[in-house]
Chains A and B, each alone.
Chain A
Amino acid sequence: MKNRILAKSWLAPFLSLFLLGLASCSQQLPFGPVNMMVIQPVGPGCQYEIGTVSLQTIENISELRGLLGRVVSNPNDLESDPNILQMGLGFQSLDLRLSGAQNSFAPLDKNSLLGVSLYYAIEKGHFLFKNLDPAADLLSVVSNMKETLLVQNAILKNNSDAKDFYSDNAAYVQVPGNEGPRNYFLHFPNEGITSLPLGFNSGVLVHEYAHMVVQYLFHNKRSEAGKTLSTSSENTLAAFEEGFADYFAFLATNDPGFFHCSFPGNGSGGRDLSHRKTLTPTEVTSIKTGIDFDSHDGGSVWASVQYQIGESIGHQENGRSLIRFINNLASCSGLASAQASINFDVLRNCHLQALGSAYGSRAQQLYQGAFGAAGGF
């Protein structure tokens, strides 16, 4: 008898727990802007902290999908099948594990933290450009922006024969598709980075977003003739583009050494914008010939010039001038209508036009000091 009574008293909490569980079935993750706990940069010297940010363009947090695209993964080599990149097939939503309620969430595992970090950084880049100049608001420029895919831990071979895959890198890629170009941000797996992995380095991802801005505000405006350039011209444009992207990554993080947060041993200030640099004769030769050319070398010089201009006239002002510059570069350089030759002199003059006469002389001096000595013009 006593046992029966005890059994009943134990069954009550068993059933209560069951009913509580049934009640939880009705909870759903919300659609719309959410607050999210992420790792965010807070200043120079690779200072990062954990804080809550507002992801304003998110439409569906459980699928990590929003106005700027969707974070996905793909277990296959992205070039193993043309359908993958050209048609955007085979991508999977991340299996997110989030805690929180209503409109405030936090990632519970590393994979989820990485996913929300990727979206957060791309959104950070978007608002940086949009707030500096509405002309750089890609949501009003790119018709299929929502179809942009942010591929987490993308698998891509180094080359067709290699067995090794890209790692410790990130990229922006535009792939021609049957229904227009498709845009991808690729985050490659972390292999050897023991400091800040690239997926958590907002500067690196804003750098990639800046490449997309250059693609739409400049490259898409180049005429067919303007796309057939000499090696020297193409290399100059590639170097300038890397510097442009680095400068906006700095603006997003307020850290001129953002790159070295992930690659601390990479030279003494090699990509640190606050270190003054000049184009060397060797770099000039590699730009002209294409031999041992690395676009990041010339790019770091260009970025350091922008940093100095920004220090002189204000970084916001210089950021705005650079958006005007990139928006007009195709017509300014003659690439909108016909084949042209591009060198740093052309780029400088186009930027000076965008800057206006008020700041031109100081900027001209800085350009001259960085590029002029080695014959970069």
Chain B
Amino acid sequence: MFRKLIFLSLFWGFSLQAKSPSPAPVLPPKDSSLSPSSLDAQTQKKISRAELMGIGFEVATLGVRNSSSNDLLGLQLLYGLRAVFIYPLSPKFFLKPSVGYFLKPEREGEVSVTQNVMEAGLGIHYALLTRKSFLWHVGLSQRADYLFSKISIKDSSANTPGLFRYRAGAASGLRFKLGSRADLTFDLEVGAIPFDNFRLQSAFSSGIIFFID
């Protein structure tokens, strides 16, 4: 309700501007803060991009530290997609729940192994730097993963038992304004997997967030 009122007042401000743009005031108003244009500026200032609720879709890569099988910089890379939700808590803090799916197919001759990772995550972020068309946020991220692999040889295949795994770490991201209703996002997180000897795991994702509020 509070957010709707802000948007209504913002809309009202724009409406006033549209209806009476031409007559210039003879005298400056005594209290400039009461003018429609300054009200507009005030409300815009209050609603930073961190305060907007949104839903987004990202392409992402997971980098799991592995000294024996590394694709890049000692990391084994999995590729996938994430759906994220942005839920503002305050002008500076917002929650970022997400779900994602990643896979890594590997083949050698007739033998193939395809890793599958399904994740559900919840991060809490702080808007460190907010500009008109830019937002830099940092936060804590934690995720629960469900892993399994499909092993195949010729016509025979089987899924491995699943494995639940928890990881937590730090996250940071940049958001660039694409329009009034969308941001381009770049997110990076680095965490550790306690169950797996605190194996390092990173993730990079990029996509678009659409504001729904």
Contact = CB atoms under 8 A, between A and B. Distances in A.
A94 interface: yes
A13 to B, nearest CB: 6
B160 A100 contact: yes
Interface string B143-171: 01001110111101110111101111000
A99 B1 CA distance: 47
B123 to A, nearest CB: 8
Interface in A42-64: 48-51
Nearest to A18: B142
Given A6-B89, A190-B109, A109 B147 contact: no
A6 to B, nearest CB: 7
Contacts of B106: 109-110
B153 to A, nearest CB: 5
A245 B125 CA distance: 63
Interface string A333-362: 000000000000000000000000000000
Interface stretch (A193-201, A215-223, A294-302, A323-331): A193-201
Nearest to A198: B109
B111 A21 contact: no
A48 B69 contact: no
A39 B153 contact: yes
B153 A10 contact: no
Nearest to A193: B109
A136 interface: no
**Chain B residues touching A, range:** 35 or more
A106 B109 contact: no
Interface stretch (A22-30, A284-292, A304-312): A22-30
B167 A21 contact: yes
B161 A106 contact: yes
A13 B122 contact: yes
A48 B111 CA distance: 10
Nearest to A94: B68
Chain B binding surface, main DSSP class: strand
A79 interface: no
Nearest to A153: B68
Nearest to B76: A109
A50 B195 contact: no
A108 B196 CA distance: 13
Nearest to A13: B122
B194 A50 contact: no
Interface in A97-124: 97, 99-101, 104, 106-115
A49 B147 contact: no
B113 A190 contact: no
Contacts of B87: 6, 10
Contacts of B157: 50
Contact of B160 (A17, A25, A108): A108
B48 interface: no
Nearest to B160: A106
A37 B151 contact: yes
B51 to A, nearest CB: 10
B98 interface: no
Given A21-B166, A25-B194, A50-B151, A14 B122 contact: yes
A92 B67 contact: yes
B71 to A, nearest CB: 11
A110 B195 contact: no
A109 B113 contact: yes
B31 interface: no
B177 interface: no
B125 to A, nearest CB: 12
A134 B93 CA distance: 70
B161 A10 contact: no
A20 B106 CA distance: 31
A113 B151 contact: yes
Given A17-B166, A99-B161, A100-B161, A48 B195 contact: no
Contacts of B213: none
A143 interface: no
Contacts of A48: 153-154, 156
27 contacts: A3-B2, A6-B89, A7-B90, A11-B124, A14-B124, A14-B142, A17-B166, A24-B166, A25-B195, A27-B195, A37-B160, A37-B161, A39-B111, A92-B68, A97-B64, A99-B147, A99-B148, A104-B161, A106-B151, A107-B113, A107-B149, A107-B160, A108-B115, A109-B76, A110-B111, A196-B111, A200-B153
Interface of B: 1-2, 64, 66-69, 76, 87, 89-90, 93, 95, 104, 106-113, 115, 122, 124, 142, 144, 147-149, 151-154, 156-158, 160-163, 165-168, 194-195
- What are the 3 tightest A-B residue pairs by CB atom distance, in nearest-first order? A106-B160, A21-B166, A99-B163
Given A37-B160, A107-B113, A110-B69, 8 more contacts: A21-B167, A48-B153, A96-B68, A100-B160, A107-B149, A108-B147, A194-B110, A196-B110
